Amino acid sequence: MADLTDQIPERIAISLVVNGVRRTLEVVPWTTLLDALRDRLQLTGTKKGCDHGQCGACTVLVDGRRVNSCLTLAVMKDGAEITTIEGLAKDGTLHPLQQAFVDHDAFQCGYCTPGQICSAAGLLAEGRARDADEIRELMSGNLCRCGAYPNIVAAIEQAMSRS
């Protein structure tokens, strides 16, 4: 009878630059980037909502582009630069989007907020949104079950006008 332990894939060593700091870790091949961040690197600002690519709560920036970290295998991003909500503030000053979310009261429970802000940072970098309708369209992958959408859009408009 086959020894099943022979069939367990080995852990794979990967290196990520997370919020400017190089981190090395060994993961089993099916570890998502989300689980690597939360469970292995203790960066729990990034939230797990659906774990199926449907809510956007897990959004982080990978090499500057927004991705759903629950749909991304950590091993696929070996060598990448990852920015999470913990990495947006600089020298004790909130990122303009973080400040705008505070200014516009753009959250209630806050569970979706890290994903909203990281997604909005990706949106601003893309430079494709010109007005509130386009912000709504291009942020449609980030759900807010509290329904804070009007304030979220207002916050992103503020950050966009100042960027």
Residues lying near ligand FES in the complex (CB under 6 A):
48-51, 53-58, 68, 70, 107-113, 144-146, 148
Closer by beta carbon to ligand FES, 15 or else 54: 54
* Min CB(149)–ligand FES separation in Å: 9
Instruction: Check if the beta carbon of residue 66 is closer than 8 Å to that of residue 60.
Output: yes
At residue 20, the 3 state secondary structure works out as coil
* Min CB(57)–ligand FES separation in Å: 5
Give the position of tokens 């959250």. Answer: 107
Closer by beta carbon to ligand FES, 61 or else 70: 70
* Min CB(143)–ligand FES separation in Å: 7
For residue 7, count other CB atoms closer than 10 A to its CB. 7
Instruction: Check if the beta carbon of residue 102 is closer than 8 Å to that of residue 94.
Output: yes
* Min CB(128)–ligand FES separation in Å: 21
Q: Among residues 102, 96, 117, 93, which one has the least CA distance to residue 161?
A: 96
Closer by beta carbon to ligand FES, 107 or else 139: 107
Structure tokens at 72: 């991304």
Closer by beta carbon to ligand FES, 20 or else 147: 147
